[in-house]
Chain A
Amino acid sequence: MSETLTVELSRSRARTALAVTAALLFLGACRHEKSDSGGLPRAETFYVAGRQWGEPSSFNPLTGNPDWPVANSINLVYETLLYYNSLTGKMEPLLAESYQTTDDTVEATLNPAAHWNDGKKVTGWDVKYSFDLGQKYKSLPMAPLWQYLTEIKLYDDAGKEAPVDPVEGANYPRRVVFVLNKEKKNPLVVLDEFQNTRIVPRHSIEPQLRALGGNIDAFLKLKFDKDAVSSGPYKLLSYSGEKVVTVRDDGYWGNQALHGGKLPAVKYVVHPIYKGNDAFSIGLRQGRLDASSTFVPRIWLKNKKGVHSWMDEPPFFLSTSIPMLMINHKHRPLNEVHYRRAMAFAINYKDIRELAVSGYSDPLKPGLILPFGLESKFYSDEDAKQYGTWFEPERAKQELKDGGYTGVFNSDGELVETHDASGQKVPTVYIKSPAGWSDWESIVRIAVKSMRAVGIDARERFVDSSLFWNALFQGDFDMIMQTPSSAPTPSKPWSRFEFLMTTQDFAPEGEKMYKNMGRYNDPKSPGYIARLDELIAKIPTITNEQELIAAYRELNVLFMRDQPTIPLVYRADAFYEFSNKHWANMPTAKNPYLPPLIPGDRLGTAMLWKITPVLN
């Protein structure tokens, strides 16, 4: 015996430890696959991902950025007046059964069946209150709408104007009339808000706000994570750092009024919270996730595992937005059109599409209007050919030459710097993108490589994401990656143009601008194009289709000729992947009964009544 007591002791401890570990492993390993032992039944549970990235902190419907399932565009708990169908371009009923626009109003009529989960009816008073809050409290998300409105009026079924304060009784106002601001008429943004603003119960919110002395900042601290009064088909059941669980409200008004008396087949909609990007792909492959709206690379490799996207062939997804390089028009040489167009001719868009975004995009065409889908009717190939830019290095060199620029290359053929007409070095153009956003980083690298090849002195600059946003708003960049106004809404493509070119709230560099961060078309500059502002103001009011097409063509031509930003690729606002392991009849391009949205996300919610469990 050579072992001492200590060694013996450690050994026996180690043995115990090993035994415990082994027992744990055994316990785990012999546990059978069925997950129905005390948990949520798989056949009644739908797992979604991609809309909640960290532990939830607030479900307050009035905050600008609440957590799933109250989050923006999620209709599970709180509902909007209407849905927008991005496939048909039509508004579809939700709390409002219909709407109409007149010359100076937009009017919604509420569904008489709509009620809150405490049994009280959803009235015009609730709707008016939900929007009026933004008139009083400028920091609330619906506040910006008020620059386009003068007031909201309520009428009952008999056409009588309703009193301002709610009165009990069966005769409540169902007609809600939004009176447009004559100075700034824009029914499009009102419709955007109809499918965006959560309608909240006045009888529950108002007393809580009053109890806090009307202090909105104190109110926004309330978490609304218990017994909230809401109108939607699901209620919050539980939440943690690992997942958020909602449970079906069997008393939901829409089961009868909108879905033919059916309950959704899904009893629980669960959003697991994953920490790494690979987790989404693994979750889908293993059937742990039923649908996700995250970027899953090379989706075609996962088809045999039952994972699909909107289409099973390229581009796999339905794009609704345009990632682009925003350009700072206050910086030399970017304020010069030849330089901007040279950059746009230099970039290899095919490489970006194929290498940086897994081919999830149609080939890029010039301009700011999507050449497919609903916007294609405003698109003109003829204009694009005449005024647009595309990958053609020779044209890029020609534009540089026309502007008097020359690239100086060393003996290895590498660009050293770019000179202007007077032989001076022009400043290096830095492209900012948040560090770690790998798809954007690849895009920027390809763009930089293409530009340098023709003689444009551009470099990438990846910055900390917190510095990135500050740089974006303050105009502290030469060029910067951005996907402006990406969600499909009734106001597209107008809102994309408006976001990039509006001169409203124009501010010098260093002060913040939340639109047109590139400071394009400064009204005080000599090159100011007044026509742009006119078109942006006029398009929302045009009702004649031919006139509208003409206006959009003109706007797009102005964009192409001046190249204020450089569109790079098309992208879905939210990706849409699903597994058919546990649920069948998910919408696809071949079965497009709903747009490609995961359940809970806008009109995607309606899928919950249509999908059926797969019985194994």
Chain B
Amino acid sequence: MLKNNPTLRYILARASWYFVTFLVAVTINFFLPRLGDANPVDTMMAKVSGGLDAKSAKEKEEAYLKEFGLIEVDPSGAIRRDAAGKPIRTSLASQFVSYLGMSLHGDLGGSIQQYPKRVSEIIKTGIPWTLALQLPTIVLGWLIGNVLGALAAYKRGPFDKLLYPLVLLASAIPAFCFGILLVYFFGIRLEWFPAIGAYDDGLTPELSIAFLQSASYYYVLPFLSVFLLVVGGQAIGMRSMCIYELGTDYVKYAKLLGIKESKILFYMFRNAMLPQLTGLALALGTMVGGALVTEIIFSYPGLGLAILTAIQQSDYPLVTGTCLLITTCVLIANFSVDMLIGFLDPRIRAAQAAGG
């Protein structure tokens, strides 16, 4: 059946590669954070050990280690100890096995630093904010950036001369710098927009006019801080892609044949679009990692800071859980683009038909 259906064969081949990548990523996600010296329970002990005597502290520490599956426990629930009375550490391999088992049931485990919270709870509360900030910003920024870039390449002249330096500047400013400038001028000096937060301190997130108004007011600066940078980056990319396409043989040939200019532009745009599409997929895939800098500068809710803190405090389950999410999103986004390009790009279509 596969022989007669190159498209299906293409999809299956890609999918199996992605599956292998996924397995490797899961393994790395698990082991990498755990290979260091840091012990997350120490950070917890620093918070709770104040005044504890050595014996109580030891008991407390062992309770935590047991809770997080870092030491071995016999079937009755008692801690297994070595000859010197020290608890036996669970080996990384057996931690990995139990992690895989849990993941199959959709359980990402419990966070260590935010004990007793589950990793899934943390993701669930952070992700809507992250998506609300990132999705519109990236998609809009991508669209507008590409259109501006294509226009600049095509129209040249004063339009390009004005636009190009501007977008170059926008894409070159570091995100944190731009965010801080926005906060300083529009949030603190002029007080046009709130400098920090995501909605009025006195409100609770809900579907009401008051909340939506407040949230959109607070949205302006964080949105702009990411949006303008995305527009800048995309416009530059699109502009140079289009300029390149303008000089290609097929455009020259088409011109010689006397094909309508709008038709040529359409061909050109379609070809210039392909790499930009991959860029969009990557941006969408990694967005769940959060706009960390934006979150910190604007004290905006989201997943970014949770991930950073988890890494700093060696909160393994949370690091692994969020990385799993990011990995999955990146892979899905890339897979979708692969499929899309497979249908859009005639070269790949031709390759499929030729059986390779």
A residues contacting B by CB (< 8 A) are 1-7, 10-11, 13-14, 17-18, 21, 24-25, 27-29, 31, 35-42, 45, 47, 54-55, 57-58, 63-65, 138-139, 141, 143-144, 147, 217, 220-221, 223, 238, 240-243, 245, 270, 272, 274-276, 278-279, 282-283, 285-286, 288, 464-467, 469-470, 472-473, 504-505, 507, 512-514
Shortest B206–chain A CB gap in Å is 9
Question: Would you mind naming 17 contact pairs between A and B with Cβ atoms under 8 Å apart?
Answer: A3-B265, A6-B269, A11-B147, A14-B144, A27-B217, A35-B214, A39-B200, A54-B306, A57-B111, A58-B116, A138-B59, A238-B204, A288-B201, A466-B43, A512-B54, A514-B54, A514-B57
Q: What distance in Å separates the Cβ of B347 from its nearest Cβ neighbour in chain A?
A: 19
Q: Which one, B37, B210, B213, contacts A28 given CB within 8 A? A: B213
Supplied contacts A279-B196, A465-B43, 14 more A-B pairs, CB within 8 Å: A7-B147, A27-B212, A55-B125, A57-B116, A58-B117, A138-B59, A144-B56, A240-B125, A274-B299, A275-B300, A469-B42, A505-B55, A512-B57, A512-B58
B216 interface contact, C-beta 8 A:
yes
- Across-interface contacts of A138 in B (CB, < 8 A): 55-56, 59-60
Contact A286 B195 (CB under 8 A): yes
Count, chain B residues at interface, CB 8 A = 89
Q: Given A38-B203, A286-B191, A466-B312 in contact, is the A4-B37 Cβ separation under 8 Å?
A: no
Complex CA distance for A140 and B267, rounded to whole angstroms: 71
Interface string of B37-69 (1 = CB under 8 A from A): 111101111111101111111111101001100
B contact residues around A472 at 8 Å (CB): 46
List B contacts of A45 (CB < 8 A): 202
Chain A residues with CB under 8 Å of B205's CB are: 240
B262 and A3 contacting across the interface, CB-CB below 8 Å = yes
Residues of A contacting B52 in the complex (Cβ-Cβ under 8 angstroms): 141, 143-144, 514
- Return the chain A residue nearest B191 by Cβ: A286
Per a CB cutoff under 8 Å, which of A31, A63, A270, A285 touches B213?
A31
A282–B195 CB distance below 8 A = yes
Contact of B39 with A282 in the complex, beta carbons under 8 Å = no
B143 touches A28 (CB 8 A): no
Q: CB-nearest residue of chain B relative to A47?
A: B201
**B residues within 8 A CB of A40?**
201-203
- Write out, one digit per residue, whether chain B residues 120-146 have a CB within 8 A of any chain A CB (1) or not (0): 001001100100000000001001101
The one of B46, B56, B208, B270 that contacts A6, using a Cβ cutoff of 8 Å: B270
Counting CB contacts under 8 A, is B192 at the interface? yes
Closest 10 CB pairs between A and B?
Answer: A64-B48, A39-B202, A28-B217, A505-B54, A40-B202, A466-B38, A139-B60, A4-B266, A38-B210, A469-B46
Contacts of B183-225 to chain A: CB distance below 8 A: 183, 187-188, 191-193, 195-205, 208, 210-214, 216-220, 223
- Alpha-carbon distance A514/B42, docked complex (angstroms): 11
Give the distance in Å from the alpha carbon of A123 to the alpha carbon of B271 in the complex: 80
List of B residues within 8 angstroms of A507 by Cβ: 54
Cβ-defined contact, B200 with A275, below 8 A: no
Known contacts being A7-B147, A41-B202, A276-B296, is A221 close to B116, with CB within 8 Å? yes
Q: Could you tell me if B114 and A282 are in contact, using CB atoms closer than 8 angstroms?
A: no
User: Quick one: given A139-B59, A272-B197, A286-B191, are A147 and B216 in contact (CB under 8 Å)?
Assistant: no
Whole-angstrom CA separation of A612 from B219 in the bound complex: 33
| A28 near B220: Cβ-Cβ < 8 Å | yes
Q: Are B42 and A466 in contact (CB under 8 A)?
A: yes
Closest-by-CB residue of B relative to A32 is B213
